[in-house]
Structure 1
Amino acid sequence: MNRSTISLAGAVAALAVLTGAAVVTGGGDDHDTAPVASAARLPVQRSNLLCPAPSGSEFAKTTYTSFTPQGASGGAGGSGSAQLVPATPKGKALKPLTAAGKPATSTTDKPDAPALIGTADGPLAPGWTVQQTTVVDTGDGRGMLGTSCAAPDSEFWFAGASTGADRQDYLHLVNPDDTPAVVDVELYGKDGLLKASTGDGITVAGKTAVPVLLSTLVADKVQDLTVHVVARSGRVGAAVQAVDKKLGSDWLPPAAEPATSLVLPGIPADASDVRLVVYAAGSDDADLTLQLATPTGLITPAGHETMHVKSGMTSSADLKDLTKGEAGSLLIGSSKVHAAVPVVAGVIVTRGKGSKQEMAFVPAVPEVGARSTVADNRTKGSTLSLVAVGKDASVKITSSAGSTGGSPVLKTISVKAGTTVAVPPPLPESGKGTFAVTVETVSGGPVYASRTLAVPLDGVPMFTIQPMSDDHGMVAVPVARPDLGILNH
């Protein structure tokens, strides 16, 4: 999923107007003797983020935290803005972000709080992130729901949704553009594609949001589902809100695109149950290997060394208390017995016991890459989980100033290949309130990461897990050179 950026085609066209032509590849003229310069990496000039409507509960309180890393603009000057506005004709815009390096927060306790459409430009666009955290302290949907507001796209995968008797899962669709978007929703269970009565051609009008209760699309009561969302026209933001009668509620983040090897980082040490949901996206069955990256190395879960998933179908495996007191990350690979097949995967994590249980989700995620940021960290309850695959890695962690002031703090840690390091982020100096954490890959890797936010309430281990991946705050822009000679042709 790509963060919206300024059109590169437009940039090249502008250069062409100024110089007569922008030559980005060799032609058949004397100019061919000049070396072709490599693409320059420049900060994005515009970012879009979409936040789903938080909760319809009268007992919900939602905090929005907006943040752009300091220095993410690469030293570019000028002023910028970062604003979230309601995806409805009514409602007020949230408190804007006015400067990089310090979070801006807003709260609401309204049960009809709308979805939000966000835009950041100028020096506030690169790396801009928004965290939406909701606590429902009683009643239906009791739990902590967290999500990093997502960039609009045309395709999403969700592994771990459900239309079971104990679940109410809503797919939230948000359209940031003026023109309507048309969206198809496919649900895959253990026997393949479920026939949806109204899942094809869902229209989302411009600048609006549409919630879709998954159980209204199909008659089947299915515990484990994979949801595939495709915008046949336009683009949308998509998120699944899962509400369980026994296990609380949370947002199910989009999973990484289908791949033959996947990493699911940050399964908590005290997980009482871990349920893996996998969908085989290829034309052949998938034969998979499972490994757990622990703090000391890779192990194979007893009884779950391999997993077979039929083509076009969703399979699940109850891994129970997989981590057994040590934080870990699940690595999914392809068996060498057959050709590798791309899959989509996610796990449902449960903490607590009896009536004091709470759930969250860990999807397969893309790597951290150059830089990734997660907002709304607290002085207590935040844990970063980092796993290196292939090579040892060095990672720089930066905790921003707090929302009420203070100074940022930097820390560099090493992550051995095949291990998971779970650490609380360093606290801002002399600062209070929430803060943001930025993770940068210094060397080695690749590195995969997630953030767990745990805020116990009345004996319930409320928590939420946000995956962290490359913020795509820098883009490659072809280096052009003037070629006035083209005007003679």
Structure 2
Amino acid sequence: MNRTTLSLIAGTSALAAVTAFAALDSPSASGAAAPGVAARLPVERTGLLCPAPSISDIAETSYTSFTPVTQGSPSGGKAQLQAATVESAAGADGSRKGGRGKDTRKKADRPVLTPKAPGTPVTGDTSGSDTPALIGTADGRFAPGWTVQQTTEVAAGTGRGLQGVNCGAADTEFWFPGASTATGRTDYVHLTNPDDSAAVVDIELYGKDGALKSPLGENLTVKPHTSEPILLSTLTDANVSDLTVHVGVRSGRVGAAVQALDDKSGGDWLAAATDPAGSLVLPGIPEDATDVRLIAFTPGGDDADLKVRLASPDGPITPAGNETVHVKSGMTTAADLGDVTRGEAGSLLLTPTDRAVPVVAALRVVRGKGDKQETAYIPATAPVGTRATSADNSAKGTTLALTAPTATATVKVTASAGSEGGTAVTKTFTIKSGTTQNVAAPAPSGLKGTYALTVEPVSGGPVYASRTLAATEDGVPGFTIQTLPNDRGTVSVPRTDQDLSVLQK
């Protein structure tokens, strides 16, 4: 079962659409005709979790909250973000160490975001290393497609550059290919529990030779309404360049994200990859990427052989020297693709050469050279589906990449009103089969502040998308990439009929 479905069942997005005494009238039950196509209705409650943004005292963080206008939504409702309590084991230098040491609990002031109405983003700012994780809920008209973007700028030090993450839903399983415990890397896995009861979590680490011994990652307790950043290097003595991190929840739910920071080449958030699958799409490699590294892992008992292709603006290309990749069962495999895009937009397509074996994957992407490098990550993602939403866009520095891997697709892109003024604008694009296009995303007319983008496929095959934010500082090409899967704004509800005969059975 995929994590979106689990999240809906668990209550992250809940829909009240059940009539008293209603029963599904199926042929096997009553001999009547099968019900028609299920209706898609707006969700009525959504939960989001934002990890603590930075360990740097000079970090500057902005939050952008946005709910797209969704037809059929109720008229009432509200959205709010509340600070979580940070659970951490402080070292002698005061830095966060994670693990199972003595916990220091602290709760800091949260940035105040007061959404005015769907269709208009709202922003808030904070600074420093004490900003806590946030636990958010939205209901009524603010719930369908509610999106919160967390963007942090760090001027110097470990992880300097631009770091961004979409605040995510709680779930019970996460895969993070692309983490590291190598010298010069400082990687944390952030676990946030939004519920009233404790969650019990296991963190498993897999390198090129298989599972690493990490007993301190077993049976971790995350207390209610708290967030805990755990330094991966405290879970193992191994110095490993390419790790796959598996977060499995024994009881309860958590939100999870990996913060991957490098001493020399910046850093970013590594969001969870989509569920293991035989074919994967990793959309939106920047056209000026100087180095791209693929990290893949198969959790099953069989090896996977994958065909590697780049969906370019002109069609699929097979990278020379990296036509295929062999992923051994239970072992993390990495492949250097170099400057695979060669100055053009591109997305990586992974398909089985023969038999499909479920795989998870991510890309580590570098821009710049020498001491001017910056790093971001692109996990394999799910298609846009009905609609995807991206908050915190600006008139300059925003790139929207759209990929149609199997069939030509028509896509509608809407720029919302600006956070401080402006009028929404919509454009339609056609993406040819097997291609990636960095489209000229619309911006609101009279824009003031930031704005949101919604992506809605109109016809044709599946579409995958990502959004890149870029901001150069002192010659360093800072950037961050967020993939755009479905925003979970609507849910399919089976058609029901009233059947009072169930009371007599």
**Which interval holds the TM-score relative to the shorter structure?**
over 0.9
Secondary structure of 1:355's partner?
helix
Of 11, 14, 19, the match for 1:15: 19
Letter in 2 for 1:144: L
Q: Deviations over 1:272-324 (max 9, x none)?
A: 00011011222111111100011101110000001111111011011111111
Relative distance call for 1:482 and 1:268 in structure 2 (3 A) is same
Relative distance call for 1:7 and 1:300 in structure 2 (3 A) is closer
Question: Across the two proteins, how many residue pairs are aligned to each other?
Answer: 479
2:418 matched residue in structure 1: 402
Q: Deviations over 1:247-291 (max 9, x none)?
A: 101101111111111000000111000011011222111111100
Of 73, 76, 81, the match for 2:78: 81
**Within the alignment, does 1:437 sit opposite 2:441 as a pair?**
no
CA distance in 1, matches of 2:311, 2:29: 54
Matches within 5 A, 1:98-113: 98-113=116-131
Q: CA contact under 8 A between 1:182 and 1:231: conserved in structure 2? A: yes
TM-superposed CA distance for 1:200, in Å, is 0.6
Relative distance call for 1:57 and 1:24 in structure 2 (3 A) is farther
1:51 matched residue in structure 2: 50
TM-superposed CA distance for 1:190, in Å, is 0.3
TM-superposed CA distance for 1:21, in Å, is 4.4
2:393 matched residue in structure 1: 377
1:415 matched residue in structure 2: 431
Give TM-score scaled by structure 1 length.
Answer: 0.95
Secondary structure of 2:233's partner?
helix
Of 249, 268, 272, the match for 2:267: 249
TM-superposed CA distance for 1:484, in Å, is 2.1
CA distance in 2, matches of 1:77, 1:340: 43
Percent identity (aligned): 57
Letter in 2 for 1:231: V
**Within the alignment, does 1:281 sit opposite 2:281 as a pair?**
no
CA distance in 2, matches of 1:15, 1:290: 49
Q: CA contact under 8 A between 2:285 and 2:346: conserved in structure 1? A: yes
1:42 matched residue in structure 2: 41
1:353 matched residue in structure 2: 369
Q: Deviations over 1:52-74 (max 9, x none)?
A: 0001211100000000112x2x2
- Range with greater deviation from structure 2 (422-431 or 188-197): 422-431
Give 4+ residue runs of structure 1 displaced > 6 Å after superposition.
Answer: 7-10
Relative distance call for 1:145 and 1:24 in structure 2 (3 A) is farther
Relative distance call for 1:38 and 1:294 in structure 2 (3 A) is closer
Query: Where does structure 2 lack aligned partners over 5 or more consecutive residues?
Result: 86-106
Secondary structure of 1:198's partner?
helix
TM-superposed CA distance for 1:39, in Å, is 2.1
Secondary structure of 2:284's partner?
strand
TM-superposed CA distance for 1:36, in Å, is 2.7
2:190 matched residue in structure 1: 172
Q: CA contact under 8 A between 2:16 and 2:44: conserved in structure 1? A: no
Q: CA contact under 8 A between 2:41 and 2:72: conserved in structure 1? A: no
Letter in 1 for 2:414: T
Letter in 2 for 1:50: L
Relative distance call for 1:317 and 1:209 in structure 2 (3 A) is same
CA distance in 1, matches of 2:14, 2:163: 39
Of 102, 121, 144, the match for 2:139: 121
Q: CA contact under 8 A between 2:26 and 2:33: conserved in structure 1? A: no
CA distance in 1, matches of 2:61, 2:29: 61
Letter in 2 for 1:449: A
Relative distance call for 1:216 and 1:480 in structure 2 (3 A) is same
CA distance in 2, matches of 1:92, 1:414: 42
CA distance in 1, matches of 2:332, 2:29: 53
Of 303, 313, 334, the match for 2:331: 313
Letter in 1 for 2:416: S
TM-superposed CA distance for 1:390, in Å, is 1.3
2:97 matched residue in structure 1: none
